[in-house]
Chain A
């Protein structure tokens, strides 16, 4: 029998090669411009400018995406929990049918839907006013950082929920039944028994969501005005207004370092488990 490590590497090689040739290699050029001036001199000036002009936006991006990720996680657990522990099959079926729709809506369209939905005189406020729940004077626009978070959560929760619900459904139900027999409430079962067991899936789904939201341009640009805004908007602006790839790519490197730090959580967990499932 050949060395399994070698076979393993051979099997991974095509996929790794694809990523290397079609993404990492072109990415290298971009990363290089972040560390050089337009004349090709090595410098950290781009990072300096990125911090000088966009430090607020960098923090803002981290907070927005962080909050959105946590909300996605909480809602996904709630949805998955109800799908797993819900006692009314009809309600479970309705929820199962309901929650997935935003998965099919691209970000740019989600942004457009939200822009006309949660605005001051948008469809949401108009419906609430028509129903007599709100007075016209009470309506406010949510088209700022809240709008970005709402759009992200709306679009990304189904993705997390789909993975989490799947994981929950496959749990060994005997522990759940045992806890139930001991008189534990469903909320307690969800928090203390079910969620810890699906934590790996949840973390992975949240990392993928975090990464996705970090790189979306259309939502912040279409939902909120400028200040502060997300790093993707600043990147696009540096390139479109000044042709300044250096600073744009410096922001890109910072953005990647942020996602890298988050993914490190996953990596560390892998090491704790000896890198094996």
Chain B
């Protein structure tokens, strides 16, 4: 009787567990990326196979939502729409700084970095604070990106080194400098923020706080100058629009994201002779963050995935070597994985010293909103 009973229990247990274990065997990890198609492909074609080697039961599904904050916004809206459900259909998201801060504040992300080995390999400021919001523990940068001025050396013999020189150059060469305003993407926003930094007495206060609403008035003169400057500049349609006009030689110079710049060059859409210059006193950059939504259906797989994606080996081979992106985790862990020639390719146009001194972060959210709204009111309306 007893053994039979045991057998029956075992059988019942097996039956009960069978569907569960079967479904545990096949997991689809949904990775949603705000960014260019090459980031979506990077997840699908590069990270996917690497991850599946150690986790054969997981299939990676990678979807993109388009570049810029609009892409992050779509991801956030998708999460907010299913807020009240038990589990969410987004396991890993790649988003921008602004949205990361908002989502952490709203309690929609899971703290995960302490459970992930590579969490200890990131100590940069932007892994702790995002535009003034505390995100420590919730994010690991996928890569860091920087804006810089791209120029065609055939048309620009002495590239400007500062905003002042750039202003003079643009006035001497009307319509040859182009940027995309603030509504067409972040490279234009970055140029405007850099402009305000350059004209501000205390740029660090804008970048780190504390917030002081009176600061706004100090920008009036700077924005009035920018309005004048716009008359000699070309306003391009979007981040891609700036690169597009550089591609056809319609402008000789313009602010671009360094990662996009290299992608366009690799895709044969920019003359291989094009160069970058990070002008002083500095231009902003920002990381893309890996985050896990608070109720991700496959939390454990998501953590494992990010662990692989932010490991020094993958950051070295995937982020630096393949795409020429600045690594997301601390540089020394990545540099040791690469030969000097590959590492130095990152710094052909912008030296590490320049990056350290002129690579700024975006302002804290309140100042950021103020700058954008002041631009809308004073410069374009």
Contacts and interface: CB of A to CB of B under 8 A. Distances in A.
Interface in B180-211: 180-184
A120 B244 CA distance: 12
Contacts of B102: 243
Interface in A209-236: 221-229, 233-234, 236
Given A237-B183, A240-B73, A241-B372, A226 B68 contact: no
A143 interface: yes
Given A119-B250, A236-B70, A227 B244 contact: no
A241 B69 contact: yes
Contacts of B183: 221, 226, 229, 233-234, 236-237
Given A121-B250, A240-B69, A53 B381 contact: yes
B249 A121 contact: yes
A242 B375 CA distance: 14
* Chain A, interface residues (CB within 8 Å), range: 20 to 34
Contacts of B249: 121
Main secondary structure of the interface of B (DSSP, over half): helix
A226 B180 CA distance: 7
A226 B235 contact: yes
Contacts, number: 74
A175 interface: no
B111 interface: no
A104 B290 CA distance: 38
A43 interface: no
Contacts of A226: 180-184, 235, 380
B53 to A, nearest CB: 37
A19 interface: no
A234 B372 CA distance: 13
A225 B180 contact: yes
Interface of A: 53-54, 56, 115-116, 119-122, 141, 143, 221-229, 233-234, 236-237, 239-243
Given A119-B248, A226-B184, A227-B381, 20 more contacts: A53-B376, A53-B381, A115-B237, A119-B244, A120-B250, A122-B248, A221-B237, A221-B238, A222-B237, A224-B237, A225-B180, A225-B181, A225-B235, A226-B380, A228-B380, A234-B183, A236-B70, A241-B182, A242-B369, A243-B102
